[in-house]
Structure formats: C-alpha cells, structure tokens
Chain A
Amino acid sequence: MPIEDAVAPVQKVTIDEMAQEFADKFAIVTFGTPGAEADDAIAVTIQLKNPLMQDLAVKERIRLTCTSGAAMSLVDAGNGTVLAGDGTEDMIIETDETTGSFDLQVDYADVGDITVVGGATQGSGFVSCGESLDLTFA
C-alpha cells in the first residue's frame, strides 16, 4: 500500500464526520408517509432532519406551495404553527420547536395528484428543501 493510498481518506471530509453541533445547523425538510384520504383530506408530517438524517428539533420557517386547487392547513391539534396563508395553496409555516415537525393537512375535493413543495423564506435558516411530495386523491 503506497503512502498516498494511506493518507488520502483523511483528506476527504464526509457528512458522517460532522460534529453534532455543526450538523444541527443545517435542516433538511422531509415528508413522512401520507395518511389515508378521508373526507377529501390527506395528512402528512413534515419532519426536519440534520445532514446525518437525525430528527432535528428546531423551529424553522418554511414556505409551502402546492398544486393549484388544493388547500393546506395544520392538522387539528397538530405540531407546528401556520404563520400565513392558512387554507390556501401558498402557506408559510413554522415547525414545532420541540419536535421539528409540522403536521400538514392537504384538502382537495377533486380527483388527481397534488404536489407539495417546500422552500426557504423570510426567517429561514440553513434549510434544504429538495424533496417534494405527491399526494393522490381518489
């Protein structure tokens, strides 16, 4: 084994090497498994994770938009807070500080697929919103 091979891995910093404090500075928006449709509504939990894919219990502000015609809101007694746009297709929310989650409800009276996407907005931290969610209403 040449010395080049021996030392090379040390130079490469991986996500797994992030200290907890450092990793927790970055939030990734993930969607849980949607619940069954009931009364033209589907519930799904949005959960923040750090780059180590551990649940991240912080308050984060996120803008949620979805396909036109659907309406988004907070599940009754669910985690999180709606800051603006409750009951619309363009909503700004705040995750629950103790869990890092937001319990989203999407209402759609018609039949078809509804796509939900998140994004950074005013008051957001280092947040990655690369994942979207497709909900099928039957």
Chain B
Amino acid sequence: MTRLDGHFIKPGSIPADRLDPEILIGGGGAIPDGAVTPAKLSVALLSRFAIVTWNEPVEIAPDTKTLGLQFNDLLGQPMNVAHIIRITCDERAIMTVGNEGVSLSGDNSSDLIAQTDATGLLTLTITCNENTDIFIAAGATQLSPMLDCRTPAQLTFQQT
C-alpha cells in the first residue's frame, strides 16, 4: 500500500512531503487500511445488519421436527438482540414457536410473525404428515431491521 493511495489518506488531505518518513501509513495491523470491510464496522453499525441462519433440525417424531433460527452479524457472530421476523413455509406444514422466542401472530400456521429471544434465537416446531421436503423462508416485516434472509431452511419429512 502506498502512502497516498486515495484511501487511508485521501488525495489532498495532507501533502506527502509533510509526513514524517517514519510514520507508517497503512496501519500495519491485520486489517489493511484503505478498504471498508465488515471487520472495520463499529459495534453500533454492525448491529444494524442481521443475517438469518438456520441451525440443524432435530427430529422429534416422523411428522415433527424442531428448527432454530439464529440472527448473526456480518462477521458471522450471534447477535444478542431480539428482532421481529416473518416466517413462511409450504402450506402442508404447520409451525409453532418453541421455547426460545415469542409468537406475535400466526402461531400454529404456515405463516407466522415472531420475535427472537434476547440471544437472537427463535425455535420452531414444524409438523407435516406427508413424505415431502418442506422449505421455510424468512423475511422482513413491520419492525424488522435490515435483514438478509437469502438462505432458506429445508426439512425432509419421511413418515414411517
């Protein structure tokens, strides 16, 4: 990285000949200066963006599984915050909110709105009495923050 590359020291902000040659521009740390990455965001800014991730489903019975939704930040770290989210799935399945999180509407249906607990976790119990794959999608709704819900969950039900 050059001393005046238009990033860390922007053009015109300070003449190059006024810098002490001993001053190391560029930080010298693990994260190079000059480009904004999620790792450089302040905690306050990082908390503005939430990414929906899904935990591994657990089979309770052939027609019943539990599934956890976790909000992570842009660094992939769990967000200890309660957020509101809308969750929908195939109409052949029914979702209810489990021990973590609170149902706000639509509990025991294929279209519910819920709030995660203070650790950013929401557990769902999904029931389906067919042999099929069920996709579950999350999305922003009223009072949601900036959300990345691109990753859906997929559950395979196999009745015995």
Contact = CB atoms under 8 A, between A and B. Distances in A.
Interface residues of A, number: 24
A111 interface: no
A21 B37 contact: yes
Contact of B149 (A6, A25, A125): A125
B150 A18 contact: no
Interface string A16-34: 0111011001000000000
Contacts of A1: 14
B37 A19 contact: yes
A112 interface: no
B145 to A, nearest CB: 11
Contacts of A122: 86, 88, 137-139, 149
A120 B139 contact: yes
B68 to A, nearest CB: 18
Contacts of B8: 10
B24 interface: no
Interface in B7-28: 7-10, 12-14
A25 B49 CA distance: 11
Interface string A118-130: 0011111110000
A22 B149 contact: no
A13 interface: yes
A107 to B, nearest CB: 28
Contact of B14 (A6, A120, A124): A6
A124 B149 CA distance: 5
Interface in A1-57: 1, 5-10, 13, 17-19, 21-22, 25
Contacts of B149: 122-125
A118 to B, nearest CB: 14
Contacts of A60: 150
Contacts of A25: 38, 74, 148
B138 A123 contact: yes
Contacts of B7: 17
5 contacts: A10-B8, A13-B36, A120-B139, A123-B137, A124-B139
